[in-house]
Structure 1
């Protein structure tokens, strides 16, 4: 389990640090699905937060419902005790799960959500507390809402007059398998998220929230999901503001064409044992997969040994013609303009280098660049590969292991996340959306890499334990203020007509951003200017018109 903030020694009354252990609430809430009872948390200032954990929002996605869109849960008769997180979608546990607050795995019971609701009213928001909906990351393959806290959410975000909802959704093959036709179009993980948002819209007022002031936020694959939800006509009107952190629909990992994802899906089924008949129909492969135990189908970030490439995400959203009836570019133009707060950490790629083992040698970096820019997907691919190698490997001694790893981290972070984040800020600002771009630079001994910013918002470490010092606690205050202000007002500076320290993104100065450190300040070189280099690579994609 993650370490939490100490209960003494560094009191922070503003943040509610030092929350006591939860007890059972004496309050019940009648929802459209049935009555629920939750747990009660007491923040250090004495104010109460009720947590309703593991509320089902869909029928068990098993049997014939495996690989189908979610079905709304049937109403239950008795009061449902919602004291514990629901189980995870089946997934392979990875090497760092010792840091995680792990719950069990159960395909039938994985579609649940959790609500953390302040038990006080706000004069500023008589229609109810603003709502933040958290979508977890994990490469569309692993984790669950339980990994990101309960008491820590109560003291970090609910203490700032917010309701926080965290959701589970189907992952890996369960959430994103597709046959590429009407038998299974895929994207069921996104349909799960959409059904959860519909449930929140219909019920959150009963918990004291305002259904007309909802912010969806997520990180990595959760950030990509948040952005994609803001585009689809099935989901985009269910919330009003969006915070895609270290991932969005413009990032390379976020989405595939339907043809590519269908081929990968079919190849994976064959790899794990499906033996097609001569015709190899969609009905046949679905019937075989529905007959398999979940343990055979589950994946982790490392995929299945012997299948795919190192670091490759096997199951991701696809442009199915249903959840995404048009290209992402077309949907982005027609979608309602939403305030967006987005950004990255200073060294996003360090996490992935350590996780994937891709930086084994200088030559492995060259091979990775070659794989990123294949001839079949890019115009003038050979020239682009040469330019990328010149930018990242010039002057590097192939025998300098430390420098090779550092350069690989830059390549991987830029290719996977940083370039897409800059691209999204550019596109949305040019379309007229209020955009606030950040680069999280704050350093503690773990550095600022993928996931490390989350501890300062949610209160828990994801890839390492969190033992905050005084500066860490200042950063917690700063980050939670930014996020709470954005959720309330669509402006991280707060309710003010005058611009604060964080300036709105300027289409005439596309790399200007807030450097989040102590103190924060506006700077002009986003990720040292490298994402601007990747813009011409973005323009060279042969399938760009279809994305």
Structure 2
């Protein structure tokens, strides 16, 4: 009888313990109700999917506030992604009605959470594709925030924004200034600032984080004068505003190219713009697809044309000149050790073929494409910098890895190190942290020298080894646990070492005089703290290469006036 009584009391207590939930939440535009998802015996996450943060956007217009709704909005399913090409570029998907966000709020035993740090995620996808709920595996979105929220004790928000031509087409002047995708992100962050308190969040402790184009977007949001006071911290994973793929060089030429594809004449620019505005949005979107046949003519990165521009407003100047706007924002940034391998494998396909030789001619052709604005002198200079350690008869694995290193350095690692240095230089009380993620790839079929491929860090940060335990090993859960701890500690305090979550080793701050970084993999220990990440190559690109004269006539000589 005593056992039965105990069991009943325990059952009632557990029922009550698991009942902490927000229920209906009042936002500025109306009431919303999400869904509680259990994370174990004593914890759950309130999930709100598809909350509108702005009205349906006008074509190439800044987003406007949502008019609101009556009754209670059932926020239980993801809404459409913004209109975009599919991965294979064969068709389009999504809608112009796409400005929605998702919120994950961790709950404990008896009372709902209050005053939690907030982490806002901005997805990547070359500014061409992607969504806040992208890449679903076994019914679980890659960007599902439940594991970070539950294990890290933070609210996670993921947001949609316009991509491709509808998000980043620009004339380079006030007629169609561009950066509409950045304005969407800004509108979402502003909505979070105004409304997150009702969900148990602290509006004065918001951290942005993103990967690839999302990482560059995070950096752009930091640099924009419109962000003053909106958020306190930021994390860039594999991309910054200084990355060569993150800024349009010649926006009007791209706009005319899209206009021709949808049948708009380009001789009269005013007529062209009027024609574009009344064109079928699907046609405009397909007009921005990547021409895969052009890969043979040069590096694939040159085909990634849609990106932000210096518009004199949201981005008032070249990004390198705007880091004074980041003085009070804590910044954590890094790259994967093989972020450039995906691009290198397309540009020099022999690097991934076991019995194929990668030749000097192939490497020089790649360098010629990456450094075309500086001509033959740059090719010779860069080739010498990267081959100097080879010896007289370099093994093919060494040569092939060098190709991946070249693209990683040029596209990701060096721009990130420059951004970290600029942030540290301008910081006024804000902290700076640098990392290198080098967990060996889980993608089958790659050569043994391949380490962390582009975007491979995300599965660990978003806790997939816990959400999908049968697909991972214990070492993957160790890495996932450590990443979530560092990232959420940083979101709470501005310091990845300080917070509620234990970390394996102290991660020292990056400064103007010292450049420590943390090597992140499944065996983080004291030897994981190192200094001066690839400084030889950072110095090469920032000093030796930068000092070479620009020779290509089709490239703007002054990046500040692109």
Residue 522 of structure 1: which of 507, 529, 542 is its match? 529
Note if contact 2:424-2:431 (Cα within 8 Å) is conserved in structure 1: yes
Residue 538 of structure 2: which of 523, 527, 531 is its match? 531
Bigger Cα displacement from structure 2, 126-135 vs 138-147? 126-135
Distance across 2 between alignment mates of 1:303 and 1:189: 22
Note if contact 1:57-1:199 (Cα within 8 Å) is conserved in structure 2: yes
Structure 1 residue 33 displacement after superposition: 1.4
Name the residue aligned to 1:40: 36
Closer, same or farther in 2 for the Cα pair 1:150/1:244, shift >3 Å? closer
Distance across 2 between alignment mates of 1:156 and 1:45: 17
Distance across 2 between alignment mates of 1:485 and 1:324: 30
Name the residue aligned to 2:71: 78
Deviations 1:346-376 (Å, cap 9, x if unpaired)? Answer: 111112234566668643432221122233x
Structure 1 residue 127 displacement after superposition: 6.2
Residue 159 of structure 2: which of 167, 174, 177 is its match? 167
**SS of match in other structure, 1:108:** coil
After TM superposition, the structure 1 = structure 2 runs for residues 42-441 of structure 1, keeping only pairs within 5 Å, are: 42-61=38-57, 65-94=58-87, 105-120=93-108, 128-147=115-134, 149=141, 152-257=144-249, 260-270=250-260, 272-276=261-265, 278=267, 280-295=268-283, 297-298=285-286, 302-303=290-291, 305=293, 310-311=300-301, 312-354=303-345, 362=359, 363-375=361-373, 378=374, 381-393=375-387, 395=390, 405-432=400-427, 433-441=430-438
Structure 1 residue 524 displacement after superposition: 2.3
**SS of match in other structure, 2:225:** coil
Structure 1 residue 538 displacement after superposition: 4.3
Q: Which has the higher contact order (CA 8 A, sep 6+)?
A: 1
What is the count of residue pairs matched by the alignment? 504
Structure 1 residue 302 displacement after superposition: 4.2
Note if contact 1:369-1:388 (Cα within 8 Å) is conserved in structure 2: yes
Structure 1 residue 109 displacement after superposition: 2.2
Distance across 2 between alignment mates of 1:545 and 1:295: 33
* TM-score, L = length of structure 1: 0.83
Name the residue aligned to 1:4: none
Closer, same or farther in 2 for the Cα pair 1:304/1:235, shift >3 Å? farther
Residue 479 in structure 1 maps to residue 479 in structure 2: no
Note the aligned Cα RMSD (angstroms): 3.5
* TM-score, L = length of structure 2: 0.81
Structure 1 residue 442 displacement after superposition: 2.3
Structure 1 residue 88 displacement after superposition: 1.3
Structure 1 residue 402 displacement after superposition: 5.6
Closer, same or farther in 2 for the Cα pair 1:299/1:116, shift >3 Å? farther
Closer, same or farther in 2 for the Cα pair 1:402/1:276, shift >3 Å? farther
Closer, same or farther in 2 for the Cα pair 1:127/1:82, shift >3 Å? closer
Note if contact 2:89-2:290 (Cα within 8 Å) is conserved in structure 1: no
Closer, same or farther in 2 for the Cα pair 1:481/1:335, shift >3 Å? closer
**SS of match in other structure, 2:440:** coil
Structure 1 residue 420 displacement after superposition: 0.4
Deviations 1:275-294 (Å, cap 9, x if unpaired)? Answer: 4264x224523423532241
Closer, same or farther in 2 for the Cα pair 1:121/1:113, shift >3 Å? farther
Structure 2 gap segments, 5+ residues each: 1-18, 136-140, 352-357, 444-450, 551-556
Note if contact 1:233-1:323 (Cα within 8 Å) is conserved in structure 2: yes
Deviations 1:301-356 (Å, cap 9, x if unpaired)? Answer: 84565599633211100001111123323321244421111111111111223456
Report which of the two structures shows the higher radius of gyration computed on alpha carbons.
2
**SS of match in other structure, 2:194:** helix
Note if contact 1:231-1:332 (Cα within 8 Å) is conserved in structure 2: yes
